[in-house]
Amino acid sequence: MNPSGSNGLHDIKIRNIIRIREMIFRNYPICRVDLAETLGVTLPTVTTNIKSMLREGFIIEKKPSGHASVGRTPSLIEPNPDYGLIAGMEINPYRAVLVVSDITGRVIDRASFRLSSYSYDAMAGQVASYASSFLIPYRERVLGFSIALPGLIDEDSGTIRRSSNEDWNGKRLADDLSAMIGVPTIVENNVKARVIAYDLFSREPEHDWFSYYFIFKGIGCFMAESYPDSLCTVIGSGEVGHSIVDPEGPACPTCGKRGCLESIAGEKAIISECERLIANGDIDDIGLSGDPYDDFPRIIAEADSGNGIIRRVLENAYGYLALSISNVINFTSPELMIIESRLFNSSEAREHLRSLIFKNTYGITESDVHIEFVDYDEYSGAVGAVAVGLRSFIIQKSCEKLERPSSGKPSGD
């Protein structure tokens, strides 16, 4: 037997299984013939895999309503919402938010809580305790737990490579939480998770190449290539917030560099500037509480009510953000730029940013790049975590179930 040939056939089999599962998620309800024709595989290959998925309970078959043609009515295939549940959590700088969803992405429960400490051991213990309690009613149906958080994340090992919380660096959060909660756990970057959710839950993406720009305490941007028959490929490290925009600017408490985008235009930077203005007597006290999550909307409301000095603070941030977004567009030419932020809630602010962006693009106009603003949602990161969990625990589950034939050689670490 030729080991390499065996492995080649095995790889083809795995790819076919995953492609069929991805195609079902992307285009359901769908019939066997359409699956075979779109993926370029034989109808027997599709039928064999569909039978396996039906036995597994992963999919269900339905007869189309109103079918009036002569002959056998083709069955339509779709994911089985009763197959199981995915729990998703985002741990952001202000709080942790948690959702439970079925495998179609329908959220059935949600909650949020504040962490009393962001030291690694305390954080992990609080997350495990809260999640364990929250998941009690769903425990028997939960197939996996997915965590989304800022920073550089190694999804394969569940390791936090780099975080603004220094004692989180190098920690294998996925393993630690899995051991404490007793549920398979994975970890991913919170902006990348939003990209995956946007692609997965849009079902039939209209754009092949898009970027997702997220502005919060920090600022992140990932690019993605989207396909009609499979899940997207996400590109980049996402750390646009730590690109230098003013070498003489303020020092960033996260990366330590001077004048990075986050230190000038992130939510924390805007709040800090308003606090400085209040302390200096340049503006009246606007009732900031010291809680950045609640204070930022108060600052936006104050600017909207006509506070000219605060409006100038926001204008400064708009300018730097527009330059950053323009640079992303100039460099990558996405068909779609998605922007999620609490900074651009009003149509006036959105149109102003849009005009600033296209003043700084080169040869690229609004007809080339569609800019879509997404309303900030407290739970969008947790829904993103669910999408990551669906991809890993459900759609690509076959990779774990099928063992590669041995080549007779020891495997590496």
Cα–Cα distance for residue pair 191/385, rounded to 1 Å: 10
Share of the chain above pLDDT 70, in %: 92
Flag whether pLDDT at 399 surpasses 80.
no
**pLDDT tens figures, 249-280:** 999 988 999 999 999 999 999 999 999 999 99
**pLDDT tens figures, 137-186:** 999 999 999 999 999 999 999 999 999 999 999 999 999 999 999 999 99
Flag whether pLDDT at 127 surpasses 70.
yes
Residue 105: which of 195, 210, 25 has the closest Cα? 25
pTM of the model: 0.90
Contact in structure between 260 and 242 (CB atoms under 8 Å): yes
DSSP single-letter state for residue 370? E
pLDDT at 362: 93
65 C-beta neighbours (distance < 10 Å), count: 6
Burial class of residue 114, CB neighbours in 10 A (0-12, 13-18, 19+) = exposed
Domains of the chain in start order, with CATH, are: 3-80 (1.10.10.10), 85-183+380-395 (3.30.420.40), 207-375 (3.30.420.40)
